[in-house]
Structure 1
Amino acid sequence: MANNNVPFSVTFAAGAIAGVSEILTMYPLDVVKTRFQLQVGKATPGQEQYTGMTDCVKKIIKNEGFSRLYRGILPPILMEAPKRATKFAANDEWTKVYLKTFGVQKVTSPISILTGATAGATESFVVVPFELVKIRLQDRASAGKYTGTMDCVRKIVKNEGPLALHIVWNAGYFGVIHQVRAMLPAVKSKNGELFNNMIAGTIGGTFGTILNTPFDVVKSRIQNSPRVARSVPKYNWSIPALFTVAREEGFSALYKGFAPKVLRLGPGGGILLMVYSVIVDFYKESVRRNGSITR
């Protein structure tokens, strides 16, 4: 999905608007997903236990208020512009690099997967610090520790050091979205193109969620583990953490929060791709009418 004639400023704006649109629509499901992922074993006194997605939403609203479903939304909104700009721009740029490296003219399935994975790795450098703050603010056990986003950042850096803001986690499904989009029948109408983008984004988001949910579970555990001097956190690195969770809680625990996650990132991926494409297409149409491209 390389947009060779679209300048970075347009990619940045399109990605930012698409990302914020997706966040505002689907964010409550991300809060529910995080609560499930941080839920370990049986409830302890004072700890809420959730039996299902609907039960989780009901208990959050009843015990903490409706606004808690949007707790921690500021970091995701603040990161959407650089995050989505990085995602789409990196995907386009890495596509050019790999096409030149492998000496081919057209994107193939392996190149689309490689491009998506590399774009995801590039994006992770932008996303991780904001993700860490978001996880801490969404966790009910941490609710009383922080008064807001900046207070959370200050306390993490002060108490745990800046290394807490750098967690290794790479999840990208851009290659899957690209592949599904290429497999759909060609359409000539704008409505048909919007439909294809929504379908491709939804299928790609769903497939990507199936692949990366175990890593997302351990990412949440790692990011929610405070650093204590002279002690090694239980959840420290991704691969060992995967085995720890599976051994202690069973393989199914690696898919905690899957339902709200896939409900968010499935349709959310469709919304993201559709809004981004609409904005980019609008720019291209404006360029055609004006007869020039501003770089």
Structure 2
Amino acid sequence: MNASTAQGSPSKLKFNLFAHVKYEHLVAGISGGVASTLILHPLDLIKIRFAVNDGRTATVPQYRGLGSAFTTIFRQEGFRGLYKGVTPNIWGSGSSWGLYFMFYNTIKTFIQGGNTTMPLGPTMHMLAAAESGALTLLLTNPIWVVKTRLCLQCDAASSAEYRGMVHALAQIYKEEGVRGLYRGFVPGMLGVSHGAIQFMTYEELKNAYNEYRKLPIDTKLATSEYLAFAAISKLIAAAATYPYQVVRARLQDHHHRYSGTWDCIKQTWRYEGAPGFYKGLQASLTRVVPACMITFLVYENVSHYMLDHRKRQLLARDLSEKK
């Protein structure tokens, strides 16, 4: 973050930063994350199973394609099988999006000096998004480890290994310590670039569109415009950064052990070549693009509603005080 954008002592900077924190962004982000997760979790589960399928681990089921995976899981594990890992996914997605939007808007508004109509440009948007992503991952990585492992309990024998989210957290901590809860953290940090690219693209598209219409850049858009910009930004970010997600999922998988991130990359390249880093891409795009569209649409509408409500309350209070 550019410290030169604020004036005063360190304590004044801290005060100014926290003055820009708005809980509305947290609530709106949680709402968007939970909504998209409830609708699209089965596709997330299939994506993870494709990503960890290295062709050498017998305990991981083989699927011929997206349709085959869906029907096989439903036939063998029932409807509940399609929602394995949904609890930590809801917690993870809701908390991640909530924290991310809150951190991002706090940092962005701080850089803007409180003027939300001031354009930042691609570099500062990416910087704010990268900082937000790093903070969010630090707080939520254990939830994603649990989600991955619950999604990979593929049969009756392994389903007893973790009985649920809390049991999984306790077992991983007991057997592997804090390090186990932070498996995949390094590629996850590399994946901060995904969010930075996505948010930079999304913000630049919104700003350019509003400037084209000669309106303030924070003007509320139509539903179709939010959906289009969210989809475009997600496609660009996903195409650029998908391999890290494969590496991260494999490091978090308990069926196969790697000595570290580099070992996982080397083994994937050795046995599967470049296509190995893009396993599950179809399932991922099928899920993440509509998920992003739902998340951003819900977030934008909830945040605008709550922030407008806050402005109306403050205006009413000011008027009553003047009387």
TM range (shorter): 0.7 to 0.9
RMSD: 2.7
Distance 2:150 2:36 in 1: 20
Identity, % of aligned pairs?
23
1:224 aligns with 2:253: yes
What is the DSSP-based 3-state SS (H/G/I as helix, E as strand, rest coil) of the residue aligned with 2:315?
coil
Question: What's the offset of the Cα at 1:191?
Answer: 9.5
Paired position in structure 1 for 2:285: 262
| CA deviation string 1:11-34 (max 9, x = no partner) | 121111111011111111100000
1:18 aligns with 2:18: no
1:37 aligns with 2:58: no
1:153 is aligned, of 152, 169, 177, to 169
Question: What's the offset of the Cα at 1:97?
Answer: 4.9
Distance 1:163 1:226 in 2: 17
1:178 aligns with 2:203: yes
Question: What's the offset of the Cα at 1:210?
Answer: 1.4
Paired position in structure 2 for 1:230: none
Question: What's the offset of the Cα at 1:208?
Answer: 1.6
1:195 aligns with 2:224: yes
What is the DSSP-based 3-state SS (H/G/I as helix, E as strand, rest coil) of the residue aligned with 1:27?
helix
Q: Is the 8 A contact 1:95 1:115 kept in 2?
A: yes
Paired position in structure 2 for 1:143: 159
Distance 2:146 2:165 in 1: 7
Q: Which amino acid aligns with 1:161?
A: G
| CA deviation string 1:102-148 (max 9, x = no partner) | xxx53111221222222211211122110000011011354331122
Paired position in structure 1 for 2:6: none
Change beyond 3 A, Cα 1:207–1:5? farther
What is the DSSP-based 3-state SS (H/G/I as helix, E as strand, rest coil) of the residue aligned with 1:210?
helix
Distance 1:261 1:177 in 2: 19
2:269 is aligned, of 243, 246, 249, to 246
Unaligned runs of 5+ in 2: 1-17, 318-323
1:128 aligns with 2:141: yes
Distance 2:302 2:176 in 1: 41
1:285 aligns with 2:299: no
What is the DSSP-based 3-state SS (H/G/I as helix, E as strand, rest coil) of the residue aligned with 1:70?
coil
Unaligned runs of 5+ in 1: 228-232
2:242 is aligned, of 210, 213, 221, to 213
Q: Is the 8 A contact 2:150 2:162 kept in 1?
A: yes
Paired position in structure 2 for 1:66: 79
Q: Is the 8 A contact 1:16 1:80 kept in 2?
A: yes
2:179 is aligned, of 123, 143, 163, to 163
Q: Highest Rg: 1 or 2?
A: 2
Q: Which amino acid aligns with 2:105?
A: D
What is the DSSP-based 3-state SS (H/G/I as helix, E as strand, rest coil) of the residue aligned with 2:62?
coil
Distance 1:68 1:83 in 2: 24
Distance 1:78 1:276 in 2: 16
Question: What's the offset of the Cα at 1:213?
Answer: 1.4
1:95 is aligned, of 108, 111, 120, to 108
Question: What's the offset of the Cα at 1:43?
Answer: 6.8
Length-normalised TM-score, structure 1: 0.84
What is the DSSP-based 3-state SS (H/G/I as helix, E as strand, rest coil) of the residue aligned with 1:31?
helix
Question: Which shifted more, 29-38 or 200-209?
Answer: 200-209
| CA deviation string 1:241-269 (max 9, x = no partner) | 33331222110110111111112111211
What is the DSSP-based 3-state SS (H/G/I as helix, E as strand, rest coil) of the residue aligned with 1:65?
helix
Distance 2:253 2:107 in 1: 32
| CA deviation string 1:24-56 (max 9, x = no partner) | 111111000001011112673x65211111111
Distance 2:47 2:105 in 1: 30
Distance 2:76 2:233 in 1: 35
Q: Is the 8 A contact 1:177 1:204 kept in 2?
A: yes
Question: Which shifted more, 279-288 or 145-154?
Answer: 279-288
What is the DSSP-based 3-state SS (H/G/I as helix, E as strand, rest coil) of the residue aligned with 2:300?
helix
